[in-house]
Amino acid sequence: MEKDKAVLSWNEGKIKTLIVETLRGLSQVLLIENAISGMIILLAITIASYKLAIIAFISSLIGTLVAQKGRADGDGLSKGLFGYNSVLTGLALFMFLSGPNDWIIALFGAAAAAILTAVMMFWMRNTKIPILTAPYILLTWSMLLVSYRLKSFQLSQDLVPQSLAHWKLNIKGEINWIEGAVSGLSQIFFIDHTAAGVLLFAAVIVAGWRYALFAVLGNVIALFTAYWLGGEHTLIYEGHYGYNAILAAIAAAYVFRDKKGGIPHLLSGIIAAFLTVPLTASLDTWLMPYGLPALTMPFVFTTWIILLVRKVLPGL
């Protein structure tokens, strides 16, 4: 009897650990290591779409299980570092693919994202530059392009290749600044829902006021920079320019600061948030003929640039 209780207790402990690591995988999408934030994020996604919430949780779970079964070294597993690329890949493939196979492809992509995460961690470990969301971006782009050659992969109607020869910039219409203030965070998870955006901000606050500060700073800079540079008003208030700026500001200013000094790099955060706006516009244009979304590549490029510059100019 005591042996059975010990086994039951051990199994309960493993399940609890798995759930915590899975929730941290969700929170790491926002560069946060906090299971409570992960729960709030999952609730926010559920409010917008229960199907997306199911995909997000299962994707993070799959990424965590792949790392567990693969006996991942270090503390990356416990921090949720093998879950966040799986979450984003699963969500992106489910959103941008259609047909009867979208669930299967999305969850397969989540597993593949965990493996690619491990590969890129190995490749980049000597550079001491984080992989960020690069595995998710490369894998998602590749699997979306497969749709042009394999019938089982069916692109959503939202992704339509466009010719630049007939492109016209439309900056007419009013900007809903209130909606723009909350839509940046929600767009990270492919949702456009005001209540969900408020909950996501609550998840950031739970992780710490500094996270919240730089999230707000990044979004505000993106909103006004995109407006000042003459971006499309609809894209501005829908958070199209905000989500990359939020992630870049948090990463450059706080998450990847000098841990010895511990002081946030305010200037780096401001520069990073600003740079994501023209980078987003540029990447959107580059990818337009292929019908591909920019995803979080502006955030990745900007953060890598800032961190590489610091190696030469540590004052920044």
Predicted local confidence at residue 132, as pLDDT:
97
59 and 17 in contact (C-beta within 8 Å)? Answer: no
Q: How far apart are CA 246 and CA 230, in angstroms?
A: 20
Residue 19 has a CB neighbour count (10 Å cut-off) of 16
Print pLDDT tens along the chain (316 aa). Answer: 555 444 445 456 788 999 999 999 999 999 999 999 999 999 999 999 999 999 999 999 999 999 999 888 778 889 999 999 999 999 999 999 988 888 999 999 999 999 999 999 999 999 889 999 999 999 999 999 998 898 888 888 888 888 877 777 777 777 777 888 888 899 999 998 889 999 999 999 999 999 999 999 999 999 999 999 998 888 888 889 999 999 999 999 999 887 655 567 888 999 999 999 999 999 999 999 998 999 999 999 999 999 999 888 776 5
The predicted structure's pLDDT at residue 10: 45
Same CATH topology for 2-151 and 174-312?
yes
What pLDDT is attached to residue 244?
A: 97
pLDDT digits (tens, 9 = 90+) for 143-186: 999 988 988 888 888 888 888 777 777 777 777 778 888 888 99
**Can you give the residue ranges of every domain in the chain?**
2-151, 174-312
Which pLDDT belongs to residue 6? Answer: 46
Are 233 and 175 in contact by the 8 Å Cβ rule? The answer is yes
pLDDT at 259: 65
Determine contact, residues 61/84, Cβ cutoff 8 Å.
Answer: no
Distance CA 271, CA 215 (A): 14
pTM recorded for the entire structure: 0.93
As a three-state string, the secondary structure of 17-76 is HHHHHHHHHHHHHHCCCCHHHHHHHHHHHHHHCHHHHHHHHHHHHHHHHHHHHCCCCCCH
**Residue 204 belongs to what H/E stretch?**
helix 194-207
Q: Supply the pLDDT for residue 158.
A: 80
Say what the pLDDT of residue 279 is. Answer: 97
What pLDDT does residue 166 have? 73
- 2-151: CATH class: mainly alpha
Exposure b/e, 106-117, CB count within 10 A at least 16 = b? bbbbbbbbbbbb
- pLDDT score, position 311: 83
Distances from the Cα of 216 to the Cα of 39, 170, 206, 207, angstroms: 21, 27, 14, 14
* Inter-residue contact 112 to 141 (CB < 8 Å): no
174-312 fold? Ammonium transporter fold (1.10.3430)
Q: Report the distance separating Cα 31 and Cα 253, nearest Å.
A: 12
pLDDT at 258: 72
Secondary structure element (H or E) that encloses residue 181, with its range: helix 177-187
C-alpha dihedral over 289, 168, 137, 297, to 10 degrees?
130
State the virtual CA torsion across 131, 134, 135, 136 in degrees, nearest 10.
130
